[in-house]
Amino acid sequence: MSGQTYKVCCCFRRRFKLAAAEAPADIKALFDRYSNNGLMDAEHLHSFMIEVQKEEKATVNDAHGIIDGLHDLKHLNLFHRKVLHLDGFFRFLFGDANPPLSPRIEAHHDMTAPLSHYFIYTGHNSYLTGNQLSSDCSDVPIIHALQRGVRVIELDIWPNSAKDDVDVLHGRTLTRPVKLIKCLKSIKEHAFTASEYPVVITLEDHLTPDLQAKVAEMVTQTFGEILFSPGSEALKEFPSPESLKKRVIISTKPPKEYPQKKEVKGKEDESQKGKDLADEEAWGKEVPDIKDTVRSDEKDDLGEEMDDTDEQIAAPEYKRLIAIHAGKGKGGLSDWLRVDPDKVRRLSLSEQELEKAAITHGKEIVRFTQRNLLRVYPKGIRVDSSNYNPLIGWMHGAQMVAFNMQGYERSLWVMHGMFKANGGCGYVKKPDFLLKFGENNEVFDPKATLPVKTTLKVTVYMGEGWYFDFHRTHFDAYSPPDFYARVGIAGVLADTVMKKTKTLEDNWIPAWNEEFEFPLTVPELALLRVEVHEYDMSEKDDFGGQTCLPVSELRSGIRAVPLHSQKGERYKSVKLLMRFEFV
């Protein structure tokens, strides 16, 4: 008993005091190099910005502005010259004015190419508040998605119980519906709060012609002149995001193209789904509706009419609303990927369908996506609203990699990271190699083994801010936390890797000072992943923050990297000091 008491007492005696952050040795050495007698003036700082930070366009006036912005820190005024001590220089490097991405507030990619030339921030079942089977349907997650910059909102539309109005819900599940008109009004109100580039509404339509006519009236009255509605004929080429600023676009399968006889494709579809449904058998016993849900999802995206009526007279006003026509065609995969020189369209594939197609038709998918839109959506058994690896879609040119935005896991962090690019406008220009033809009309081969284009060298110096953003006993009841960092790349298979620093015990301000190198074969699609965890000997390690950054837009030099929660919300104080070099 006495031994146990002694152990607990020792734990209580361990310190919680916050030590002051001290500049790493590299920072001190750079300060000595770019200062004179311990003082750094604007000319010295300007040289540092050019040579170390690789900010070729920086001016001496920019350096003066940085020093002036540190007026609350210790600096000297010698002969009317403002200068920095080491402390001021260190705080500048570790401050909000020195982020890892350029603080652009507008898109800077070429926005005048067709929509098919861009990756587009895309949601899946955008109305769900939680899981795919029993959560509420609401306009709130739609609003949150738009505020984050999501540009494609998906709505599943069904007749209400009285068959006289239109609900949004995940069909054949226990999800509770929300009125379509409420969702449309919320989209109208929040569509352009985060970005002025177009919002696409993809509709999974389960309606009769009279209710389609009602939807046409709702959409027309809600959006009015901001609705892009070129008519009932398919577009010959997609317009550009620039030409569609502050416009709303409807995409679904035109009713007149619904196949009239299901038997033609039924056997083929069922054989493709057989293995998946066998895997779901255990789920089906616990959740009786799931197999119907999976079948429903897959039929919807195959474009099959859910109504059994052999003949339908589609509402013409509804057809005219559809600017981006969707559909797979009547044949197999080769027919789905056929490129029509006279019109463009949208094709939807499940993550499983894409994985299978990539094995046999990888280059054909790339060729298809140079002109047409490809939407990829999560497989039906992801009832927990989890997501998949988005890179398989992006490396094949898929524009609409649709994600459950209400989930909180690593795949979604990668999605957040991709769309931090281009000013966070929700549209990211695809790399040239996905858009161009070679001398012999060949296209990029996603399976090809490629040489290393560049190597990203990352130094993780230190971190701070947990003491202020977390409760003192959040990580450990009796001592300061034991932090380690994970750093790596999400990208094509050859580039994907994660590495780890040592664990530093009992320190609110960990100073790892470790360097990592990442050879990159496709840097254009690479994202830098950063996570911090607190080591726990007996339980799962505690989460301490994360971020994901597009390598193509990383600023070279020493940068302050803010970390985010598992939900993707930025912490107020937590950040890392890191250095990025391309060698």
**Residue 500 maps to which CATH number?**
2.60.40.150
Residue 107 counted as domain residue = no
Dihedral-angle region of residue 545 (phi above 0 means left; psi in -120 to 50 means alpha; beta otherwise): left
Look at residues 135, 144, 129 and name the one whose alpha carbon lies nearest to residue 187. Answer: 144
Q: Are residues 298 and 421 in the same domain?
A: yes
User: Does the residue 61 lie in any domain?
Assistant: yes
Burial of 13 (0-12, 13-18, 19+ CB in 10 A): exposed
- Cα distances from 92 to residues 78, 197, 207, 296, 359, in angstroms, run 20, 34, 58, 55, 49
Residue 562, domain member (yes or no): yes
Cβ atoms of 358 and 394 closer than 8 Å? no
* Residues 429 and 503 reside in one and the same domain: no
Residue 156: DSSP 8-state: E
- Spatial CB neighbours of 267, under 8 Å, sequence gap ≥ 6: none
CB 402 within 8 A of CB 346: no
Residue 550 shares a structural domain with residue 462 = yes
Residue 108, in any domain of the structure: no
Q: How far apart are CA 243 and CA 525, in angstroms?
A: 26
Return left, alpha or beta for 79; rule: phi > 0 is left, psi -120 to 50 is alpha, else beta. Answer: left
Q: Is there a domain that residue 265 lies in?
A: no
What CATH number is attached to the domain comprising 309?
3.20.20.190
Same domain, 85 and 182: no
How many contiguous H segments (helices) and E segments (strands) does the chain have?
17, 23
Residues 298 and 354 in one domain: yes
pTM of the complete model: 0.88
Same domain, 322 and 428: yes
Same domain for 430 and 458, yes or no, is no
Distance CA 251, CA 345 (A): 9
Tell me: do 196 and 332 sit in the same domain. Answer: yes
pLDDT tens sequence for the chain (583 residues):
444 444 444 444 445 566 678 999 999 999 999 999 999 999 999 999 999 999 999 999 999 999 988 865 544 454 446 899 999 999 999 999 999 998 877 899 999 999 999 999 999 999 999 999 999 999 999 999 999 999 999 999 999 999 999 999 999 999 999 999 999 999 999 999 999 999 999 999 999 999 999 999 999 999 999 999 988 788 999 999 999 999 999 999 998 544 444 444 444 444 443 433 333 333 233 333 444 444 445 554 433 333 433 346 778 999 999 999 999 878 899 999 999 999 999 999 999 999 999 999 999 999 999 999 999 999 999 999 999 999 999 999 999 999 999 988 999 999 999 999 999 999 999 999 999 988 888 999 999 999 999 999 999 999 999 999 999 999 998 899 999 999 999 999 999 999 999 999 999 999 999 999 999 999 999 999 999 999 998 889 999 999 999 999 999 999 999 999 999 999 999 999 999 999 9
Same domain membership, residue 153 and residue 30:
no
Please say whether the beta carbons of 467 and 15 come within 8 A: no
Q: Active-site positions?
A: 124, 170
Task: Answer yes or no: is 18 within a domain.
Answer: no
Range of the domain at 381: 115-260+293-434
Number of domains in the chain: 3
Q: Is residue 471 part of a domain?
A: yes
In a domain, 439, yes or no: no
**Do 80 and 128 reside in the same domain of the chain?**
no
